[in-house]
């Protein structure tokens, strides 16, 4: 599973938001905080190990991209949570009991087709 720390999450956000790949230095610059590049590289390596990030090693600054989109990743998380659920349907029942009407409507529409 993939539980991220704060900095890891910030880095993923950058990779998710901009569609293009980023180098370690670019990541460091876009993070507000004043971090050493090595710090960013460490984080990126860990994210790579967690299969959250792919690294282009053939170029000279290596370039990093998110393996999955933020939405794909979120869906994975949802399924992970539901995997520990016991009774999936009971959980979903409760869940939709608590969502705003507008969203319920959207879901109904999605389930229609």
User: Is position 66 an interface residue for DNA (rule: CB under 7 A)?
Assistant: no
Contact residue for a second copy among 6, 33, 34, 111 (CB under 8 A) = 111
Q: Which of 19, 20, 32, 57 binds DNA (CB under 7 A)?
A: 57
CA end-to-end span of the chain, whole Å? 32
Binding mask 2-31 for a second copy (x = CB under 8 A): -x-----x------x---------------
- Does position 36 bind a second copy by CB under 8 A? no
Min. distance of Cβ 69 from a second copy in angstroms? 9
- Report in angstroms the alpha-carbon separations of 75 from 66, 82, 87, 94: 15, 10, 18, 18
Q: Is 90 in the site for a second copy (CB under 8 A)?
A: yes
C-alpha distances in angstroms, 31 versus 12, 43, 88? 11, 13, 38
Burial degree of 28 (CB within 10 A; 0-12, 13-18, 19+): buried
Q: Is 109 in the site for DNA (CB under 7 A)?
A: no
Question: Which among 8, 6, 82 is positioned nearest to 52, based on CA atoms?
Answer: 8
Chain residues that interact with a second copy, rule: CB under 8 A: 3, 9, 16, 70-72, 74-75, 77-79, 81-82, 84-96, 98, 103-104, 106-108, 110-111
């Amino acid at each position: 599973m993939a539980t991220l720390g704060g900095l890891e999450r910030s880095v993923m956000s950058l990779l998710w938001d901009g569609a293009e790949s980023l180098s370690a230095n670019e990541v460091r610059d876009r993070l507000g905080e004043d971090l050493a590049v090595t710090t960013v590289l460490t984080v990126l390596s860990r994210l790579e190990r967690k299969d959250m990030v792919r690294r282009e090693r053939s170029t000279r600054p290596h370039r990093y991209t998110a393996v999955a989109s933020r939405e794909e990743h979120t869906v994975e998380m949802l399924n992970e949570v539901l995997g520990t659920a016991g009774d999936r349907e009971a959980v979903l029942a409760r869940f939709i009991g608590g969502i705003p009407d507008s969203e319920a409507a959207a879901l109904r529409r999605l389930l229609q087709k």
